[in-house]
Amino acid sequence: MTASSTLRAVLKQPSGVVGVALVVAHVTMALVAPMIVPHNPTLQSAGAILQAPSWTHPFGTDRLGRDLLSRALLGGREAMLIATLSTVAAMLWGAMLGLFVALQGGRTDAYVMRIVDAMVSIPWVLMVMIFVAALGVGARALIPVLGFSYGLSVVYIARAAALDFVARDFVLAAQARGERRVTILWREILPNVRDTLAVQGAMQWSWILLGISSLSFLGLGVAPPAPDWGLMIADGRGIMQAAPWTVLWPMAMLSSLIVGVNLAADAIAKALGVDRTFGVAAP
Protein backbone atom coordinates (compact mmCIF):
# COMPACT_ATOMS: atom_id res chain seq x y z
CA MET A 1 0.00 0.00 0.00
CA THR A 2 1.33 3.41 -0.88
CA ALA A 3 1.50 6.19 1.67
CA SER A 4 -1.30 8.22 0.10
CA SER A 5 -3.74 5.32 -0.18
CA THR A 6 -2.99 4.38 3.43
CA LEU A 7 -3.72 7.93 4.52
CA ARG A 8 -7.00 7.82 2.61
CA ALA A 9 -7.98 4.56 4.33
CA VAL A 10 -7.07 6.06 7.70
CA LEU A 11 -9.16 9.17 7.10
CA LYS A 12 -12.18 7.08 6.14
CA GLN A 13 -12.49 6.07 9.81
CA PRO A 14 -13.96 8.66 12.19
CA SER A 15 -11.45 7.76 14.92
CA GLY A 16 -8.67 8.09 12.36
CA VAL A 17 -9.77 11.63 11.47
CA VAL A 18 -9.86 12.67 15.14
CA GLY A 19 -6.51 11.02 15.86
CA VAL A 20 -4.69 12.49 12.86
CA ALA A 21 -6.22 15.94 13.55
CA LEU A 22 -5.04 15.87 17.18
CA VAL A 23 -1.53 14.77 16.24
CA VAL A 24 -1.22 17.33 13.42
CA ALA A 25 -2.49 20.09 15.72
CA HIS A 26 0.00 19.18 18.44
CA VAL A 27 2.97 18.87 16.09
CA THR A 28 2.10 22.18 14.40
CA MET A 29 1.77 23.81 17.79
CA ALA A 30 5.11 22.45 18.94
CA LEU A 31 6.71 23.94 15.84
CA VAL A 32 5.13 27.41 15.90
CA ALA A 33 4.58 27.89 19.64
CA PRO A 34 7.91 29.63 20.34
CA MET A 35 6.88 32.34 17.87
CA ILE A 36 3.36 32.94 19.15
CA VAL A 37 3.38 32.48 22.94
CA PRO A 38 2.26 35.69 24.70
CA HIS A 39 4.68 35.51 27.66
CA ASN A 40 8.10 34.22 28.53
CA PRO A 41 7.38 30.70 29.88
CA THR A 42 10.04 30.87 32.59
CA LEU A 43 9.52 34.49 33.64
CA GLN A 44 8.48 34.58 37.29
CA SER A 45 6.28 37.39 38.50
CA ALA A 46 5.86 37.84 42.22
CA GLY A 47 2.87 40.12 41.71
CA ALA A 48 0.88 37.58 39.73
CA ILE A 49 1.05 34.24 41.53
CA LEU A 50 -1.77 31.69 41.24
CA GLN A 51 -4.07 33.95 39.25
CA ALA A 52 -7.24 32.36 37.92
CA PRO A 53 -7.72 32.44 34.12
CA SER A 54 -8.20 36.03 32.90
CA TRP A 55 -7.72 38.10 29.72
CA THR A 56 -4.02 38.72 30.38
CA HIS A 57 -3.43 35.10 31.41
CA PRO A 58 -6.10 32.99 29.64
CA PHE A 59 -4.90 29.80 31.39
CA GLY A 60 -4.03 31.53 34.69
CA THR A 61 -0.64 31.57 36.38
CA ASP A 62 1.28 29.07 38.54
CA ARG A 63 2.75 29.42 42.01
CA LEU A 64 5.70 31.38 40.67
CA GLY A 65 3.52 33.70 38.63
CA ARG A 66 4.49 32.14 35.30
CA ASP A 67 1.98 32.34 32.45
CA LEU A 68 0.34 28.93 32.07
CA LEU A 69 -0.87 29.41 28.49
CA SER A 70 2.71 29.92 27.33
CA ARG A 71 3.92 26.99 29.41
CA ALA A 72 1.11 24.71 28.23
CA LEU A 73 1.74 25.53 24.56
CA LEU A 74 5.48 24.90 24.89
CA GLY A 75 5.21 22.01 27.35
CA GLY A 76 5.27 19.18 24.83
CA ARG A 77 8.23 20.23 22.73
CA GLU A 78 11.11 18.72 24.65
CA ALA A 79 9.19 15.54 25.47
CA MET A 80 8.13 15.11 21.84
CA LEU A 81 11.68 15.63 20.60
CA ILE A 82 13.12 13.12 23.07
CA ALA A 83 10.30 10.68 22.26
CA THR A 84 10.98 10.93 18.53
CA LEU A 85 14.71 10.30 18.85
CA SER A 86 14.19 7.49 21.38
CA THR A 87 11.60 5.85 19.12
CA VAL A 88 14.04 5.89 16.21
CA ALA A 89 16.69 4.31 18.42
CA ALA A 90 14.27 1.70 19.82
CA MET A 91 12.92 0.74 16.40
CA LEU A 92 16.38 0.51 14.84
CA TRP A 93 18.04 -1.79 17.33
CA GLY A 94 14.89 -3.70 18.25
CA ALA A 95 13.92 -4.43 14.65
CA MET A 96 17.46 -5.33 13.61
CA LEU A 97 17.94 -7.78 16.47
CA GLY A 98 14.41 -9.22 16.16
CA LEU A 99 14.68 -9.84 12.41
CA PHE A 100 18.19 -11.21 12.75
CA VAL A 101 17.35 -13.81 15.42
CA ALA A 102 14.22 -14.82 13.50
CA LEU A 103 16.30 -15.56 10.41
CA GLN A 104 19.14 -17.15 12.37
CA GLY A 105 16.90 -19.36 14.50
CA GLY A 106 18.31 -22.23 16.56
CA ARG A 107 20.53 -21.56 19.53
CA THR A 108 21.24 -17.90 18.80
CA ASP A 109 17.51 -17.25 18.81
CA ALA A 110 16.91 -19.22 22.02
CA TYR A 111 19.75 -17.57 23.97
CA VAL A 112 19.04 -14.03 22.83
CA MET A 113 15.33 -14.34 23.57
CA ARG A 114 15.99 -15.74 27.06
CA ILE A 115 18.06 -12.67 27.87
CA VAL A 116 15.39 -10.38 26.38
CA ASP A 117 12.75 -12.22 28.48
CA ALA A 118 14.73 -11.53 31.62
CA MET A 119 15.21 -7.86 30.81
CA VAL A 120 11.54 -7.41 29.98
CA SER A 121 10.65 -8.72 33.42
CA ILE A 122 12.18 -5.64 35.05
CA PRO A 123 9.63 -2.82 34.77
CA TRP A 124 10.85 -0.09 32.42
CA VAL A 125 10.54 2.59 35.10
CA LEU A 126 12.92 0.66 37.29
CA MET A 127 15.34 0.00 34.45
CA VAL A 128 15.39 3.69 33.57
CA MET A 129 15.82 4.53 37.24
CA ILE A 130 18.86 2.26 37.53
CA PHE A 131 20.46 4.10 34.63
CA VAL A 132 19.49 7.51 35.99
CA ALA A 133 20.96 6.61 39.39
CA ALA A 134 24.26 5.80 37.75
CA LEU A 135 24.38 8.35 34.93
CA GLY A 136 22.51 11.29 36.44
CA VAL A 137 19.43 13.04 35.11
CA GLY A 138 19.29 14.77 31.73
CA ALA A 139 17.54 14.67 28.40
CA ARG A 140 20.64 13.40 26.60
CA ALA A 141 20.96 10.46 28.97
CA LEU A 142 17.25 9.68 28.53
CA ILE A 143 17.40 9.04 24.78
CA PRO A 144 19.73 6.01 24.84
CA VAL A 145 18.11 4.73 28.04
CA LEU A 146 14.54 4.93 26.71
CA GLY A 147 15.63 3.74 23.28
CA PHE A 148 17.19 0.69 24.86
CA SER A 149 14.43 -0.26 27.29
CA TYR A 150 11.54 0.30 24.88
CA GLY A 151 13.42 -1.47 22.08
CA LEU A 152 13.02 -4.74 24.00
CA SER A 153 9.35 -5.06 23.06
CA VAL A 154 10.23 -4.20 19.45
CA VAL A 155 12.51 -7.26 19.43
CA TYR A 156 9.48 -9.49 20.18
CA ILE A 157 7.25 -7.84 17.60
CA ALA A 158 9.86 -7.83 14.84
CA ARG A 159 10.85 -11.42 15.54
CA ALA A 160 7.24 -12.65 15.61
CA ALA A 161 6.45 -10.80 12.38
CA ALA A 162 9.54 -12.14 10.62
CA LEU A 163 8.98 -15.74 11.76
CA ASP A 164 5.97 -15.87 9.43
CA PHE A 165 8.30 -15.40 6.49
CA VAL A 166 11.65 -17.04 7.24
CA ALA A 167 10.50 -20.48 6.10
CA ARG A 168 8.74 -19.24 2.95
CA ASP A 169 9.98 -20.32 -0.47
CA PHE A 170 11.27 -16.90 -1.49
CA VAL A 171 13.56 -16.76 1.53
CA LEU A 172 14.73 -20.33 0.98
CA ALA A 173 15.35 -19.49 -2.68
CA ALA A 174 17.41 -16.47 -1.69
CA GLN A 175 19.41 -18.63 0.69
CA ALA A 176 19.92 -21.22 -2.03
CA ARG A 177 21.16 -18.49 -4.38
CA GLY A 178 23.79 -17.78 -1.74
CA GLU A 179 22.56 -14.28 -0.89
CA ARG A 180 24.15 -12.71 2.13
CA ARG A 181 22.09 -12.57 5.32
CA VAL A 182 21.98 -8.78 5.26
CA THR A 183 20.59 -8.85 1.74
CA ILE A 184 17.94 -11.42 2.67
CA LEU A 185 16.84 -9.35 5.66
CA TRP A 186 16.76 -6.13 3.68
CA ARG A 187 15.28 -7.35 0.41
CA GLU A 188 13.12 -10.34 1.32
CA ILE A 189 11.96 -9.96 4.92
CA LEU A 190 11.88 -6.24 5.68
CA PRO A 191 9.35 -5.35 2.93
CA ASN A 192 6.97 -7.97 4.35
CA VAL A 193 7.13 -6.76 7.94
CA ARG A 194 7.23 -3.04 7.10
CA ASP A 195 3.57 -2.40 7.94
CA THR A 196 3.75 -4.16 11.30
CA LEU A 197 6.85 -2.16 12.20
CA ALA A 198 5.23 1.12 11.10
CA VAL A 199 2.27 0.58 13.42
CA GLN A 200 4.63 -0.50 16.18
CA GLY A 201 6.65 2.67 15.68
CA ALA A 202 3.58 4.84 16.17
CA MET A 203 2.66 2.93 19.32
CA GLN A 204 6.21 3.16 20.66
CA TRP A 205 6.16 6.91 20.19
CA SER A 206 3.09 7.29 22.36
CA TRP A 207 4.42 4.92 25.04
CA ILE A 208 7.77 6.68 25.18
CA LEU A 209 6.07 10.06 25.36
CA LEU A 210 4.02 8.75 28.25
CA GLY A 211 7.17 7.40 29.82
CA ILE A 212 9.05 10.70 29.58
CA SER A 213 6.13 12.59 31.08
CA SER A 214 5.95 10.10 33.95
CA LEU A 215 9.69 10.45 34.53
CA SER A 216 9.45 14.24 34.46
CA PHE A 217 6.63 13.98 36.95
CA LEU A 218 8.89 11.91 39.24
CA GLY A 219 11.67 14.44 38.78
CA LEU A 220 13.82 12.15 36.64
CA GLY A 221 13.05 13.53 33.17
CA VAL A 222 12.97 17.06 31.77
CA ALA A 223 14.72 19.39 34.21
CA PRO A 224 12.99 22.46 35.65
CA PRO A 225 12.42 25.32 34.97
CA ALA A 226 11.81 24.20 31.36
CA PRO A 227 8.10 24.11 30.53
CA ASP A 228 6.99 20.47 30.47
CA TRP A 229 3.53 18.97 31.04
CA GLY A 230 4.72 16.28 33.43
CA LEU A 231 6.70 18.81 35.46
CA MET A 232 3.79 21.24 35.46
CA ILE A 233 1.44 18.60 36.87
CA ALA A 234 3.97 17.64 39.54
CA ASP A 235 4.42 21.31 40.35
CA GLY A 236 0.72 22.11 40.65
CA ARG A 237 -0.32 18.95 42.49
CA GLY A 238 0.20 20.34 45.98
CA ILE A 239 -1.94 23.38 45.27
CA MET A 240 -4.63 21.64 43.23
CA GLN A 241 -7.26 22.57 45.77
CA ALA A 242 -6.68 26.31 45.55
CA ALA A 243 -5.69 26.45 41.89
CA PRO A 244 -6.97 23.45 39.91
CA TRP A 245 -6.10 25.19 36.63
CA THR A 246 -2.40 24.64 37.31
CA VAL A 247 -2.86 20.91 36.70
CA LEU A 248 -5.91 20.79 34.43
CA TRP A 249 -4.34 22.50 31.39
CA PRO A 250 -1.20 20.36 31.18
CA MET A 251 -3.38 17.28 31.80
CA ALA A 252 -5.65 18.21 28.92
CA MET A 253 -2.71 18.87 26.60
CA LEU A 254 -0.86 15.65 27.43
CA SER A 255 -3.99 13.48 27.32
CA SER A 256 -5.22 14.89 24.02
CA LEU A 257 -1.85 14.22 22.39
CA ILE A 258 -1.56 10.67 23.69
CA VAL A 259 -5.15 9.76 22.91
CA GLY A 260 -4.66 11.30 19.45
CA VAL A 261 -1.57 9.20 18.73
CA ASN A 262 -3.37 6.05 19.87
CA LEU A 263 -6.46 6.71 17.78
CA ALA A 264 -4.27 7.42 14.76
CA ALA A 265 -2.18 4.28 15.36
CA ASP A 266 -5.36 2.21 15.72
CA ALA A 267 -6.68 3.58 12.43
CA ILE A 268 -3.36 2.99 10.66
CA ALA A 269 -3.33 -0.58 11.98
CA LYS A 270 -6.84 -1.16 10.62
CA ALA A 271 -5.99 0.46 7.28
CA LEU A 272 -2.88 -1.71 6.86
CA GLY A 273 -4.59 -4.82 8.18
CA VAL A 274 -2.07 -5.19 10.99
CA ASP A 275 -3.14 -6.82 14.25
CA ARG A 276 -2.43 -4.15 16.82
CA THR A 277 -0.54 -5.45 19.81
CA PHE A 278 -0.57 -3.89 23.22
CA GLY A 279 3.12 -3.99 23.95
CA VAL A 280 2.51 -7.23 25.75
CA ALA A 281 4.40 -9.66 23.61
CA ALA A 282 3.95 -13.29 24.59
CA PRO A 283 7.40 -14.85 24.88
Partner 1 sequence: MPRKIAGRLAAAWITLVVIAVVVFVGVELMPGDACTAHLGRDAARAEMLTACRDRMGLDRPPVERFALWAADLAHGDLGVSMKRERPILGIVGPRARNTLILAGAAALAGVPLAILLGFLCGLRREGPFDIVTSTVALVAMTMPEFVVASLLILIFAIWLGWSTGVVTAAYDAPALTLLLATPLPAITLALVYIAHILRMVRSSVIDTVGADFVLMARMKGVPERRIVLRHILPNAILPSISLIGLTLAWLLSGVVIVESVFNYPGIGRLAVNAVADRDLPLIQAIALLFGLFYVLTTLVSDLVAMALNPRLRSLRG
Judged by the rule CB under 8 A, the positions of this chain that interact with partner 1 are 114-115, 117-119, 121-127, 129-135, 206, 210, 213-214, 217-220, 230, 233-234, 237, 240-241, 244, 247, 251, 254-255, 258-259, 261-263, 266, 278-280, 282
Angle subtended at Cα 96 by Cα 262 and Cα 112, rounded to the nearest 5 degrees: 105
Residue closer to partner 1, measured from CB, 8 or 237 = 237
How far apart are CB 233 and partner 1 at their closest, in Å?
Answer: 6
Answer for the pair 230, 215: CB distance below 8 angstroms, yes or no.
yes
Query: Shortest Cβ distance from residue 229 to partner 1 (Å)?
Result: 9
CB of 29 to partner 1, least distance (A): 19
Q: Which residues of 113-146 are buried (b: 16+ CB within 10 A; e: fewer)?
A: beebeeebeeebeebbeebbeeeeeebebbbebb
Distance (Å, whole) CA 247 – CA 255: 12
The C-alpha atoms of residue 200 and residue 246 are separated, in whole angstroms, by 34
Closest CA to 205 of 57, 116, 67, 89: 89
Smaller CB distance to partner 1: residue 46 or 282? 282
- Residue 262 Cβ vs partner 1, minimum distance, rounded to whole Å: 5
* Residue nearer to partner 1 on the CB measure, 17 or 251: 251
Q: Given the complex with partner 1, which of 128 and 171 has the nearer CB atom?
A: 128
Q: CB of 202: closest distance to partner 1 in angstroms?
A: 12
Nearer to partner 1, 150 or 165 (CB): 150
Q: What are the phi and psi torsion angles at 244 (to 5°)?
A: -60, -25
Give the C-alpha separation, 199 to 202, whole Å. 5
